[in-house]
Amino acid sequence: PGLGICEWLLTILSFLLIIMTFPISVWFCMKVVREYERAIVFRLGHLLPGRAKGPGLFFFLPCLDTYHKIDLRLKTLEIPFHQVVTKDMVTLEIDAVCYYRLENASLLLTTLTSISTAIQLLVQTTTKRLLAHQAFSELLLERKDISQEIKVALDAVTGCWGIKVERIEMASALGGMGSSLRSLCRKVIAAEGEKAASESLRMAAEILSSAPAAAQLRYLHALHSLTTEKPAAFILPLPLDAM
C-alpha cells in the first residue's frame, strides 16, 4: 500500500536532515550485507517493494527504516522421534534430518514466525501421512525412495514460504521395529534355508537315483556315523531293497 500524507512528510523531513548533515549522516545510512545474507527493509512498518537488499552496500533511513538480515546458507534440522503407524499396524518411532535453504527472504520474513518449528511439524505430519500407506517391510527396503517422496511433498508446501527443501534423510526407526525386525529376519532366514535344503536334496536324489550302488554306500555311511556315538548304538539294518 502507498504511504499516507503524514508518512510522506516524515520521509521528506528525514531526507532533508540527511542532506543537511552530509557527509556525517552518510555513515549512519549505509550498511553492509555479506554474500550469503539478504536485508529486508521496512519503512514505517511497510515492506519496501523490490527484491531483498544485498549483497554489498544498501541505503536506509536511520530514523524511519528498520532492517532484518536473513541467512541464505544451507541449514540442517534434526527431526526428533515421533510415532508412526504403518499399513500393517506396526508402531514405529521415526527420526530424520532435513536439509533446507531459504530462497525468498522477503516472503519468508512476512509469512513465518518460527522457521524451524514450522518445518519440523510439517516433516512429522508428512511422514505420518505417507508411511500410513507403507508396509513395514517396504519401509525397511525402500527407505531412500520414501525419503524422496517426503521431499517432493514438502516442496509443494515450503515453496509457498520461500523455502527450498534440499534433502530428507530418515535416520532410523526404533520402538516396535526391533521385535518386528528380528521376527521378520528369522522368517526370511528360515525360508531361505528351507529353499536351499530342498534344492540340495533334489540334486542329491537325482544323483543317487542314477547310481544304485551310491545309494547303498550312502546308507552304510549313515549307519557308520550312528555307531560312532557314545554310548555306542547297536543297529540291525534291513536291506535297502526291502525298505
Containing 130, the helix (H) or strand (E) segment is helix 115-131
| pLDDT value of residue 235 | 59
Cα gap 25→61, rounded to integer Å: 10
The alpha-carbon radius of gyration of the chain (Å, integer) is: 37
Distances (CA, A) of 130 to 20, 134, 139, 175, 187: 63, 7, 11, 19, 27
What cell was used for 83? 510415532
Q: Which of 6-15, 76-85, 132-141, 221-230 has the lowest mean pLDDT?
A: 221-230
Locus of grid cell 509457498: 160
What cell was used for 185? 529376519
Containing 143, the helix (H) or strand (E) segment is helix 143-158
Question: Contact 62/104 with Cβ under 8 angstroms?
Answer: no
Q: How many CB atoms lie within 10 A of CB 128?
A: 14
Asked whether residue 143 carries a pLDDT value surpassing 80, the answer given is no
| pLDDT value of residue 231 | 61
SS3 call for 1:
coil
What cell was used for 86? 504403518
Q: What percent of the chain has pLDDT over 90?
A: 0
Relative orientation angle of helices 177-210 and 212-227, to the nearest 10 degrees: 130
What cell was used for 178? 526391533
CA angle 233, 234, 237 (to 5 degrees): 120
| pLDDT value of residue 142 | 76
Kindly write down the DSSP assignment for every residue of 42-105, as one continuous string. Answer: EETTEEPSSSPB-SEEEE--TTTEEEEEEE-S-EEEEEEEEEEE-TT--EEEEEEEEEEEE--H
Structural domains for the chain: 5-71 (no CATH), 74-179 (3.30.479.30)
Cα gap 41→106, rounded to integer Å: 9
Asked whether residue 176 carries a pLDDT value surpassing 60, the answer given is no
Q: Which of 32-36, 80-84, 214-218 has the lowest mean pLDDT?
A: 214-218
Tens digits of per-residue pLDDT, 75-110? 888 888 888 877 777 777 888 888 888 888 888 888
| pLDDT value of residue 79 | 83
Tens digits of per-residue pLDDT, 45-70? 788 877 888 788 888 888 788 888 88
